Amino acid sequence: MDAWDGEEVPARGIAGFWRRLGAFVIDVIVLGIVGMILGALLFDTFARMGIYARLIGFAIALAYFGVLNSRIGSGQTLGKRWLGVRVVDAQGQLLSLPRALLRYTVLSIPFFANGLPVDPGMAMGSVLGYLLALIVFGGMFVTVYLYVFNRRTRQSLHDLVVGSYVERFDSPARPVPFPTMWRGHLAVAGLLAVAALGVPIAANHLAQTESFADLMPLYRTLSSQPHVMTAQVARGWASMNGRTTRSLQSSLQLDAPLIGDAAMARRIAQRMAEADSQIAQENAVVVRLVFGYDMGIASGWKAHVYSYKPEELR
């Protein structure tokens, strides 16, 4: 009979929360250093790739975690090796390479997929929107929940999918099987996945508001400009000494090192002023040109900000 997760249950050297977290932080730092070195050497190449640079980062991380967490690497990444833990299956055997690769894929897909440049109109209230919400938000919610609250086996979503455990490797092996997870966690995980489906519903409700609807045509206009890979547009305000300053702001990721092109920034600002029905209420039009990369494991950016008064753009 299953006991509540907080009760004492015989364990077979299950790695604790802080050991696993510490090992993961070390591994993230190692991968970050690798990504930063590659980014410094190939900055322009990765920057021109846009979102596809994440595929490079994913491939590097997949090779690192997949190979080292398998029997090839004795079930230990550098972080796990330094903190005395390793990945094994229910029988205490090291994982095969395909199994270890699948384990990391399940863990990483929600995080690498988060922030993909998807048109808001396509992502809200559509099948694609619900699928992304389930993968990104559902995957992250369930992974974090199990990692924190599944104290009996410390298995998170990626461990459950492949049947793996993370055990302490610096303590004597115990001749007892691994404990089983409290089944109530599966019910909570299911509720979290369902809750994630509420994200596109909330986003669709937001899209119906007047302020958001006014910005959508401008977003699409900016997204279609030459050299623009992704666009963000928002209204901002600042208050100082009792005076409030309103601004229409955009941030554009470019596929070329044109952040110093003042003429391009001015053309963008003019497009913004022409397309905004509320431009008369704004005190400034701000354009941020960005050139850089995001590999998931590391990122680097160069940016230049331009600000204009609406009357200067006529």
* DSSP string computed for 132-163: HHIIIIIHHHHHHHHHHH-TTT---HHHHHHT
C-alpha to C-alpha distance for 136 and 114, rounded to whole angstroms: 6
Quick one: pLDDT at residue 179? Answer: 84
Question: Of 34, 36, 97, 40, nearest to 66 (Cα)?
Answer: 97
Q: Is residue 268 within 8 Å of 252, Cβ to Cβ?
A: yes
Task: Quote the domain boundaries for residue 186.
Answer: 17-206
Q: Give the integer Cα–Cα distance in Å for 185 and 5.
A: 9
From 206, 229, 258, give the residue that closes a domain. 206
In this prediction, residue 240 carries a pLDDT of 76
Tens digit of each residue's pLDDT, the chain (314 residues) = 344 444 444 445 899 999 999 999 999 999 999 999 999 999 999 999 999 999 999 999 999 999 999 999 999 999 999 999 999 999 999 999 999 999 999 999 999 988 777 666 555 567 777 888 899 999 999 999 999 999 999 999 999 999 999 999 765 555 567 888 888 999 999 999 989 888 877 777 766 676 677 888 888 899 999 999 999 999 998 877 778 889 999 999 999 999 999 999 999 999 999 888 888 889 999 999 999 999 999 999 999 999 999 998 87
Q: Is residue 182 part of a domain?
A: yes
End-to-end Cα spacing for the chain: 75
Quote the pLDDT of residue 170: 65
Cβ atoms within 10 Å of 34's Cβ, excluding its own:
17
Q: pLDDT at position 10, please? A: 40
Same-domain check for residues 180 and 270: no
**The pLDDT of residue 107:** 96
pLDDT given at position 8: 43
Is residue 9 in a domain?
no
Which residue among 206, 239, 257 closes a domain? 206
User: Based on the structure, what is the number of domains in the chain?
Assistant: 2
- On whether the CB atoms of residues 269 and 306 are closer than 8 A, the answer is yes
- Rounded distance between C-alpha atoms, residue 153 and residue 42, angstroms: 42
142 and 222 within one domain? no
| Domain presence at residue 11 | no
Q: What is the pLDDT of residue 207?
A: 64
- pTM here is 0.87
The pLDDT of residue 180 is: 85
- What does the alpha-carbon distance between residue 41 and residue 37 come to, in Å, rounded to a whole number? 6
H-state helical runs in 69-156: 78-83, 97-113, 120-123, 127-133, 139-149
Residue type at 185 in one-letter notation: H
Q: How many Cα atoms are found within 13 Å in the side-chain-facing hemisphere of 211? A: 6
